Chain A
Amino acid sequence: MDAATMAQTQVAPRTIRRERRRMKTAWAVMEALVREGVEVIFGVPGGASLPLYDALYDYPQIRHVLVRHEQCAIHMAEGYARATGKPGVCFTTSGPGATNLVTGLTDAMMDSTPLVAITGQVPTFFMGGDAFQEADVIGVTMSITKHNWLVRTPAQAPEAVHMAFRLATDGRPGPTLVDLPRDVLLAEADFILEDPEAFRPSRPRPPFPNERALRQAADLIAQSQRPILYVGGGVIHSGAAPEIRALAEKARIPVATTLMGLGAFPEDHPYALKMLGMHGTVYANFAINFSDLIIAVGARFDDRVTGKLSAFAPHAKVIHIDIDPAEINKNRRADVALIGDAKSILRALLPLVRPPDTEAWWRQIEDWRARYPLRYRQGEDVIKPQFAIQMIYELTKDYRPIVTLDVGQHQMWAAQFFTWTEPRTCITSGGLGTMGFGLPAAVGAQFGRPDRLVININGDGSFQMTFQALITAVEWQLPIKVFIINNQYLGMVRQWQELFYNRRYSAVYLANPDFARMAEAVGAAGIRVERPDQVEPAVRQALAITDRPVVVDIHVDPEENCFPMIPSGMTVFDTMIAPGVKAVP
């Protein structure tokens, strides 16, 4: 199915009414999903979830995407959620089906991605007895879901499903899981089918920041001389990108984004410092570390951002805007904490803001920016990975693509060399760093946004972790473009071994298959690229193929390193811009 046909098969607006019906629980679960507006489910059936799949047969308005491994299903659900803002949904069976979700659930928890996992479970009368394909999924996923429900009676099922959706998007988004024993799924009962909005988790909610706190924040901004906005993924979840831009422009404040925040502020804007952190730009890292005021919005002072925490931005006061009260004072003490939805808080704060004098600060930043641009040197023979990524960007930017990245060097180069301008266009595994995320996430994103070009930039190592998602993409004729930045190494690990382990390259060389032929074998198009002058035609050729996925295997310099780099646990004064070369503020 091409993008246009997919757009036509979108589910019609749902009519929701309260009704009482007698049916089996599995059908009541499907009714609840319909009422939640679910249009696509990623999954694999199995023994315990058979009744659910039997019910699914009666709901053709919900598309089911059959995957080859449950990890693909949950990363697809994540990609769908990140591209659309709506919770992704996946189905698995009990035991191994459910435990294969563990990585994806953890990933979604770390990156605050809303999704609902629905797992089959062995019958209640077998539970606890080590039955065939039994796993304690509630116990296993307790710390990697916002909440999970074991449904013991038919009556609990619709409520659990609706609550799972509410909670997945309530406050800080995240994954939830509903575990459904087979006997419960098969039991018939009278169900009252409700409007999903009838379900609300009753949790204490911190009050919206009062006038005094907002005024304190505004005063700190007015008094600052070297302010910086530190913008994370929370801004994208909240839809607060316009407010961030308004604040930056009103107060003339530079903006650095985290990996998860890429796209929350347009990088073609003169106030953009691009990504900060371990592989962030030198000027973003200098700016935050020499700042006297950090306005953190939807960001959590992650170690990949701060480096050595005790030495991070030592002279800065902190205004911390976050929807999750547990983030306040977790890593860095906040001078003013504003707890709540970023968009609402910024809207309340904006009228109070008085621009500080940032003239001198901007001169300093422009000096850093001029001295330490992102750079690489492309020769004639070997493709530099940065060059390949920059070409992909230049040749696709007019399509405004949604880009999924996997994890490793290619991820950092893409973060650096793309110019991110729009929220929800950079989808990657930030917190957990899950190799294998990118390709299935691209499939999920394409299902969520059939109207957009979806490209996946991958590594040769990570591509092989969830390669089988390509088979699903072929089955659905998804026109996704997969670019493998192939350096025949687990490149980031190799880089660390080169820099910090005396070049003792232990278990990092990859004896790769021919990815283009692999792609062809499963019905996708495959293109192999080995010389710099082949990159542009290959990207153009890939863009011209719209009836199936394309894999472009780009062979790059195997020993290129990713710089700038602040080594783990070090400070901005240890920023390496080349092996043995440090950046000087």
Chain B
Amino acid sequence: MPHWLAVTIENSVESLNRVFHLLRQRHLPVGPISMCRTEDPQDLRLLIPVDPARVDPQRVRANLEKLLCVKAVEDWGERPLVVRDMALVKVRAPSEAWVEIAQLAEFYRARIVDVGPETLIVEVTGSAEKVDSCIARLQRFGVVEITRSGPMAMVRGQAEAAPADRVAEAAA
């Protein structure tokens, strides 16, 4: 389970540029970043996995907090999370393969969302491992293309406000 920093930023190309620019400039070794919209259309949430063995998460956080476009940084550390990844997988599917693919999809609680003359698009949602596994099973039919959201995550069970508000409250 990675150590996550949940970073709420202004929803703009410029803000993204500033965050990525900083991470690159400081050579901060972070994992693959996913980007989510939130309850506020003005905000974007970046989920940045950090390996504490390689870099002090506090240092990444302190650097990010220098940016004016960063509204809040939350260190999710070891907190219990709901994590979901989603993939759209286009597989080569002559009609004789449909049944087998549909059965496989059902096994993963995936759905077939497009039926083309030679391909199907399978939508699969779940933990990163489940999505990986589903894609691996689909490989033998011939995967044409994959798009993937990357993990989205949320802390389990707390009824407090979202990170941006929480930090604003703490500051007040």
Contacts and interface: CB of A to CB of B under 8 A. Distances in A.
Given A142-B17, A143-B22, A329-B56, A203 B62 contact: no
Given A325-B62, A326-B59, A326-B63, A201 B17 contact: no
Nearest to A142: B21
A549 B45 CA distance: 56
Given A142-B18, A204-B171, A326 B62 contact: yes
Nearest to A207: B170
Given A143-B21, A326-B62, A329-B58, A204 B72 contact: yes
A147 B65 contact: no
A325 B21 CA distance: 19
Contacts of B171: 202, 204-205
Nearest to B21: A142
B68 A203 contact: yes
A203 B65 contact: yes
> Interface size class for chain A?
10 to 19
Contacts of A146: 66
B65 A325 contact: yes
Contacts of B72: 204
A137 to B, nearest CB: 13
B33 interface: no
Contacts of B144: none
Contacts of B14: 138
A143 B25 contact: yes
Nearest to A149: B68
B167 interface: yes
- Most chain B Cβ neighbours within 10 Å, of A147, A204, A328, A330: A204
Nearest to B69: A147
A139 B17 CA distance: 9
Interface string A117-149: 000000000000000000000110011001100
Given A203-B68, A204-B72, A328 B62 contact: yes
Nearest to B67: A147
A234 B18 CA distance: 26
A377 B78 CA distance: 63
Contacts of A139: 17
B15 to A, nearest CB: 11
Contacts of B73: 204
Contacts of A204: 65, 72-73, 167, 170-171
Interface in B39-73: 56, 58-59, 62-63, 65-68, 72-73
A330 B61 CA distance: 12
Interface in B67-122: 67-68, 72-73
A309 B65 CA distance: 27
Nearest to B65: A204
17 contacts: A142-B17, A142-B18, A142-B21, A143-B21, A143-B25, A146-B66, A147-B67, A147-B68, A202-B171, A203-B68, A204-B65, A204-B170, A204-B171, A325-B65, A326-B66, A328-B59, A328-B62
Interface of B: 14, 17-18, 21-22, 25, 56, 58-59, 62-63, 65-68, 72-73, 167, 170-171
Given A147-B67, A328-B62, 10 more contacts: A167-B68, A203-B65, A204-B65, A204-B72, A204-B170, A325-B62, A326-B59, A328-B59, A329-B56, A329-B58
Interface of A: 138-139, 142-143, 146-147, 167, 201-205, 324-326, 328-330
